[in-house]
Amino acid sequence: QNFNTMNFYNKIMLYFWLALAVVVLVGTTYMVLTVDNGFKRYGYSYIFGVVAVLMFFFKRWMMKRVEKHMEFLAQQKPEDKK
């Protein structure tokens, strides 16, 4: 059950990073296009959007890695009992 709880939490955080990236990138693009000297004032905000996208992919990669490791451990358990 602990793994299911962590899996649920990880999925929430995965989509949190994706949603944050979309909000930041869309909001920054809007501000850049609508404000005078927008890129000079808000261009640095793209960094936060890119970091959020990178966190999304990193989180997804780690979730797959942990899942494969848990499967490996489950396969090893019966062999240990012999």
What average pLDDT does range 46-69 have in this prediction? 95
**pLDDT for position 7:** 85
Closest to 20 in 3D by CA, of 53, 44, 47, 45? 53
**In the chain, what is the greatest distance between 2 CA atoms, to the nearest angstrom?**
72
**pLDDT for position 22:** 97
What average pLDDT does range 10-34 have in this prediction? 95
